[in-house]
Amino acid sequence: MKIAIVCYPTYGGSGIIATELGLNLASKGNKVHIISYSTPVRLNKFKENIFFHNVELPNYPLFEFHFYTLSLSGKIVEIVEKENIDIIHCHYAIPHTISGILAKEILEDFHKVKVLTTLHGTDVTLVGTQPIFRPLVRYSLNKTDAVTCVSEFLYHSTVREFNPVKPIEVIHNFVNTSLYRKENLPELRREFATPTQKIVLHISNFRPVKRVTDVVEVFFRIKKEIDAKLVLVGDGPDMPKVEALVQKLQLEEDVFFLGNQISIVELLSISDIFLLTSEIESFGLAVLEAMSCEVPVVSYNVGGLPEIVEENKTGYLVPFGNIEKMAEMSLALLQDESKHLEFSNNARLRAIHKFDSQIILEKYLNLYSSLINEV
């Protein structure tokens, strides 16, 4: 099959899933063309059958603002024609599906192509519900040839918000469990902690929805009971608030700010627990990556997280905003070695049996085939 994948390139789950899907499809002999405004972070080395196409933004005195949606449409038209594409797979509705639908309409008389939309979360829950975008998301959902959601939670939110005419399939996000597996890295661990100290990890894009200050508050409470270090990976608008809180709580010696990191397997491999404090999370890809590397997760019980984290087996889900409870459950894991080991094993097994890339890839391949064969 020949597939064009349209996605965001930056540090965010939708771009990561889109790129990993592309890499998996390419490894099975499909031709994959990734279209975005810069090279996605996980497309960092040459791989057979996968190509990147950059969307250029035209400069003209009249165009005070860039027309990304239109430029993207133009690029999709070019690639579909040149590469004889079967499916345009748009990750995140705004603006990718709009551009995909426009490209399909432009090509209508001479090249038949299908548009598939994968909704990732905030394209429905936050961006999609803004009055300015709501009609655009509704249009996207009704005009695209098929829609998938990355969790049951997102499926129900989409039906509730948009009541779309087309059936929606849930295809969960995935992880390559062969690549995301715990490595033995004692030297790296020593750079962060002594053998008796515990390592608490958080990875996100530091946007308000992630509530990273809650992570610091939870760590502050953990630290009162046991010797531990907090490793923060990522960057974003809330970073100054997080830094200020670390200072206020006098945790400077115990918190590592690592910024954006391309390879996180090593950091997951040396961590004891993963904390996620988002107020909403349609899936929470970082949580799945942690589980695949045997790291138990403590998060708020929101969005699609209960579909991934199994309460009292692979981690704990605590009521939203309850920092005390999150600290208590984190300590329950960090202070009980046999429970920690049991949860670590359970987490890895759940990632392998339910969310491995090979299982999920089959679902996408079946959907692509049924779309191509549809008249």
By CB under 6 A, name the binding residues for ligand GMT. Answer: 8, 12-15, 17, 92, 120-122, 150, 173, 209, 278, 280-285
Min CB(153)–ligand GMT separation in Å:
9
C-alpha closest to that of 99 among 115, 83, 82, 113: 115
Q: Identify which of residues 74 and 100 has a Cβ nearer to ligand GMT in the complex.
A: 100
Smallest separation (angstroms) from ligand GMT to the CB of 194 = 33
Alpha helices in 109-264 (DSSP H): 122-125, 134-143, 152-162, 186-192, 212-225, 239-248
We find the least distance from the C-beta atom of residue 4 to ligand GMT, in angstroms, to be: 18
User: Cα–Cα distance between 19 and 43 in angstroms, integer?
Assistant: 7
Please choose, from the candidates 62, 58, 128, the residue with its C-alpha nearest in 3D space to the C-alpha of residue 93: 128
Of residues 233 and 255, the one with the C-beta less far from ligand GMT: 233
Indicate the residue among 107 and 170 with the shorter CB distance to ligand GMT. Answer: 170
Burial of 84 by CB count in 10 Å (0-12 exposed, 13-18 middle, 19+ buried)?
Answer: exposed
Q: Indicate the pairing of strand 114-119 with strand 31-36.
A: unpaired
Shortest reach from residue 178's CB to ligand GMT, in Å:
20
| Residue among 30 and 282 whose Cβ is closer to ligand GMT | 282
Least distance to ligand GMT, CB of residue 332, Å? 25
For residues 202 and 229, which CB has a smaller minimum distance to ligand GMT in the complex?
202
Q: What is the b/e burial string over 270-300, where b = at least 16 CB atoms within 10 angstroms of the residue's CB?
A: bbbbbbbbbebbbbbbbbbbbbbbbbbbbbb
- Measured from the CB atom, the residue of 43 and 77 that comes closer to ligand GMT is 43
For residue 47, the Cα-to-chain-centroid distance in whole angstroms is 22
Q: CA-CA distance, 30 to 45, in Å (whole number)?
A: 18
123: its two tokens: 């394209």
Cα 25 to its chain centre, rounded Å, is 18
Residue 334's region, left for phi above 0, alpha for psi from -120 to 50, else beta, is alpha
Query: Residue 9 or residue 74: which is nearer to ligand GMT going by CB?
Result: 9
- Sequence-distant (≥ 6) Cβ neighbours of residue 323 within 8 angstroms: 214, 217, 218, 221
Distance CA 73, CA 84 (A): 16
At closest approach, how far in Å is the CB of 51 from ligand GMT? 22
Closest contact distance (angstroms) between CB of 49 and ligand GMT is 23
Closer residue to ligand GMT (CB): 198 or 350: 350
CA 246 to chain centre: 26
Is the CB of 18 or the CB of 193 nearer to ligand GMT?
18
Amino acid at 161: E
| Minimum distance from residue 60 beta carbon to ligand GMT (Å) | 30
Least separation in angstroms between residue 203's CB and ligand GMT is 11
